[in-house]
Amino acid sequence: MNRFIDTDLKRWAADPARKPLLLRGARQVGKTFAVRQLGASFDRYVEVNFEEYPRLKKIFDDNKDLDPFRIVRDLSAAMNVTITPGRTLLFFDETQVIPRVILALRYFYEKMPALHVIAAGSLLDFAIEKVGVPVGRIEFYTLHPMSFLEFLKAGNEDIIFNEILNHEVTEPQSDVIHEKIISILREYLAIGGMPEVVLNWFDKKDPLYCAKLQHNILNAYRQDFNKYAKTHQIKYVELIFEEAAKQLGGKFNFNALPGEYRKRELMPALDLLVKAGVIQKIYQSNGQGIPIGATANHDKFKVILLDVGLTQALLGLNLSDWLLEDQFVFINKGAIVEAFVGQELLVYSPPDFDHSLYYWQRDVKGSEAELDYLVQLEAKIIPIEVKSDKGKHLKSMHLFLKSHADTPFGIRLSLHHYSVHEAIYSYPLYAVAAAVKFMPYSILA
């Protein structure tokens, strides 16, 4: 399956000024597969997995230097391979097992810049926290679950892919095409974007088997808790993990969680899940300046999980509802649809950009208002309102546009067709990429 990250990695590899790369992302989003795809374009690909081959950790022991020539020599001898700068891709996987690898990247950059080096790990941020990062000497990419566009490509829906990216917002969509894309979107909302689940969906079209795979991934996340949480924190991490999805669409409320726990006990647990890439916070911002985060209130936030398919598996929802019912299924799942849009916004952000999500809320008695997301497009803050139906009532959007003179327009995402009316650009839910001006890479276009 082609991913947008494939082209990003090829561009990185072809750049003579590249630096060693740290590839971040939650477990099972496809990091290792993406690097192997890149490795196939090199004369030689060398993969060092520190969980699979723990003996190789000795090469990075504390009592040894981090000279890249010694490291390459020791790896070559231990693995019986030749590592040649300019012709070999060297990949360190599960790097969180031995954080000193991150420090070693500095010296690869300084002393062996011709060698292509990538390090990855599902819990990479915890390793970074232990040793820091060599500032200015490495690059970061982040990989998310598959987007709806990538889902279309995996299903060989090339015509639909191009239609979404090239359709003008001022032009109505054909009902036949619109209904077909909505039906595929229902599949995506059930299956989600975890590569293994997507691959098996297009291979077997078995929702029960896909649900089993989703639960396997959730169990893998649970097994990771003791790798990054202290013993006394594990019960809090487990609680947040099991309960967070129930609060989709609203401000996260620690008091709504079962049990008599205090916020000061639960907040660190939530932050651990955020660092693990399992949960994403959406911060409240007044949207009055660039960057959006400058006016964010970090005490008020919503949460979404990294993948809508995993979210529904965690909630125990029946995936077949999406596959068997018509568009009215959206109306009863507004929070899931809102989470889908947040996931899309993250996926379409540049891989080397530390992207956060924001929403807008007005707490004026008698004139309360809320918009689901704020994004920055061409130095302007643009509000996004998500509707799980056709979304005819846009009071909050009009209030925002009236109170934010520098905002030229707002975006509505709903089941409605494309249209423009009173500075509100309406896109169908499936066209998030087009709404935020995502530019496709040639490998997928």
Domain map (residue ranges) of the chain: 4-142, 148-435
Q: Which residues contact 99 (CB under 8 A, 6 or more apart)?
A: 127, 128, 130, 131
Mean pLDDT within 162-175: 93
| Crossing angle between the packed helical segments 31-39 and 4-14, to the nearest 10 degrees | 50
The pLDDT value recorded for residue 206 is 94
Reported as a pLDDT band with limits 50, 70 and 90, residue 440 is low
Reported as a pLDDT band with limits 50, 70 and 90, residue 247 is very high
Task: Look at 152-161, 303-312, 351-360, 420-429 and tell me which has the smallest mean pLDDT.
Answer: 351-360
For residues 281 and 306, the answer to whether their CB atoms sit within 8 Å is no
Q: Is the pLDDT of residue 379 over 90?
A: no
Reported as a pLDDT band with limits 50, 70 and 90, residue 274 is very high
Q: Is the pLDDT of residue 328 over 90?
A: no
Q: Give CB contacts under 8 A, 24+ apart, made by 268-275.
A: 268/233, 268/236, 269/229, 269/233, 269/236, 269/237, 269/239, 269/240, 270/240, 270/244, 270/303, 272/228, 272/229, 272/233, 272/237, 273/237, 273/240, 273/241, 273/244, 275/125, 275/126, 275/129, 275/228
Q: Is the pLDDT of residue 370 over 70?
A: yes
Q: Is the pLDDT of residue 169 over 60?
A: yes
For residues 352 and 139, the answer to whether their CB atoms sit within 8 Å is yes
Minimal CA–CA distance to 24: which of 131, 102, 134?
Answer: 102
Reported as a pLDDT band with limits 50, 70 and 90, residue 353 is confident
Task: Classify domain 4-142 by CATH number.
Answer: 3.40.50
Mean pLDDT within 259-271: 94
Q: Is the pLDDT of residue 445 over 60?
A: no
CA distance 147 to 192: 9
The burial class, CB within 10 Å (0-12 / 13-18 / 19+), for 276 is: buried
Report which of residues 359 and 389 the model is more confident about: 359
Name the amino acid, one letter, at 97. Answer: V
Reported as a pLDDT band with limits 50, 70 and 90, residue 50 is very high
Mean pLDDT within 49-75: 95
The pLDDT value recorded for residue 140 is 93
CA distance 104 to 102: 5
Task: Look at 160-164, 195-199, 349-353 and tell me which has the smallest mean pLDDT.
Answer: 349-353
Report which of residues 328 and 166 the model is more confident about: 166
- Residue 227: CA atoms inside 13 Å, Cβ hemisphere, count? 21
The pLDDT value recorded for residue 330 is 77
**How large a percentage of the chain has pLDDT more than 70?**
96
Residue whose pair of structure tokens reads 């932050």 in the numeric block: 271
The pLDDT value recorded for residue 350 is 83
pLDDT tens, 88-114? 999 999 999 999 999 999 999 999 999
Residue whose pair of structure tokens reads 């790369």 in the numeric block: 21
Q: Is the pLDDT of residue 386 over 70?
A: yes
Mean pLDDT within 371-399: 88
Q: Is the pLDDT of residue 337 over 80?
A: yes
Mean pLDDT within 222-248: 96
The pLDDT value recorded for residue 248 is 93
Reported as a pLDDT band with limits 50, 70 and 90, residue 30 is very high
The pLDDT value recorded for residue 326 is 66
Q: Which residues contact 118 (CB under 8 A, 6 or more apart)?
A: 9, 20, 21, 22, 23, 35, 38, 89, 90, 91, 92
Mean pLDDT within 29-42: 97
Minimal CA–CA distance to 75: which of 58, 98, 93?
Answer: 58
